[in-house]
């Protein structure tokens, strides 16, 4: 785990950590936070992968997991994926999940996590970081508008036929 203390506001600090293969317990804490923050306990808790799977995932350089901790409690985190491109020798980073505990919102936690991701992206020579926000999620839309350029796109989920 690579840790970096950050000042969030006049009275608040946190430690931002880039998780590695030995940080499975902290990843479990982050998944629990995602379940609570997104209101999706079934998605994040019911079929959680085993520790071996999570350890391999954290060892994969294309998967970037960051947490924000305060007093050894995970108060926020993000999961991003580095996507190598074929049209040019470069990559893009996609933020898949980003959440902050309700008690820590509006304190700069999400911005600090994205700033840490920006440093990782720059060190890797990535071209851009991108993220999507759902219509009606005004907090996310406001944050991402402050940090980047908005593009209105359509998102499609394509079902995959799974054999029984």
Strand partners, 81: 63, 94
Residue 113: partners with Cβ closer than 8 Å, 6 or more residues away: 16, 66, 68, 76, 77, 78, 98
- What secondary structure letter does DSSP report for 123? H
Tell me how far apart the alpha carbons of residues 144 and 129 are, in angstroms, rounded to a whole number: 11
Yes or no: say if 150 and 144 are a contact pair by the CB < 8 Å rule.
yes
Tell me how far apart the alpha carbons of residues 160 and 164 are, in angstroms, rounded to a whole number: 12
- What secondary structure letter does DSSP report for 11? T
Yes or no: say if 88 and 22 are a contact pair by the CB < 8 Å rule.
no
Yes or no: say if 75 and 109 are a contact pair by the CB < 8 Å rule.
yes
Could you give the domains of the chain? Answer: 2-147 (3.40.630.30)
Show pLDDT as tens, one digit a residue, over the chain (164 residues).
665 656 565 456 889 999 999 999 999 999 999 999 999 999 999 999 999 999 999 999 999 999 999 988 999 999 999 999 999 888 999 999 999 999 998 888 988 999 999 999 999 999 998 877 666 656 655 666 566 666 666 566 656 677 65
CA 61 to chain centre: 14
């Amino acid at each position: 785990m690579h840790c970096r203390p950050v000042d969030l506001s006049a009275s608040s600090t946190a430690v931002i950590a880039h998780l590695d293969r030995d940080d499975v317990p902290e990843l479990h804490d982050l998944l629990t936070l995602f379940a609570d923050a997104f209101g999706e306990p079934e998605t994040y808790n019911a079929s959680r992968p085993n520790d071996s799977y999570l350890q391999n995932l954290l060892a994969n350089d294309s998967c970037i997991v960051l947490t924000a901790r305060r007093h050894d409690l995970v108060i926020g985190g993000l999961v991003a994926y580095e996507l190598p491109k074929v049209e040019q020798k470069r990559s893009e980073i996609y933020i898949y999940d980003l959440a902050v505990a309700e008690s820590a919102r509006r304190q700069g936690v999400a911005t600090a996590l994205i700033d840490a991701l920006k440093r990782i992206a720059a060190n890797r020579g990535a071209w851009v970081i991108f993220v999507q926000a759902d219509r009606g999620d005004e907090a996310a839309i406001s944050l991402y508008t402050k940090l980047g350029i908005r593009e209105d796109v359509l998102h499609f989920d394509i079902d995959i036929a799974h054999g029984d």
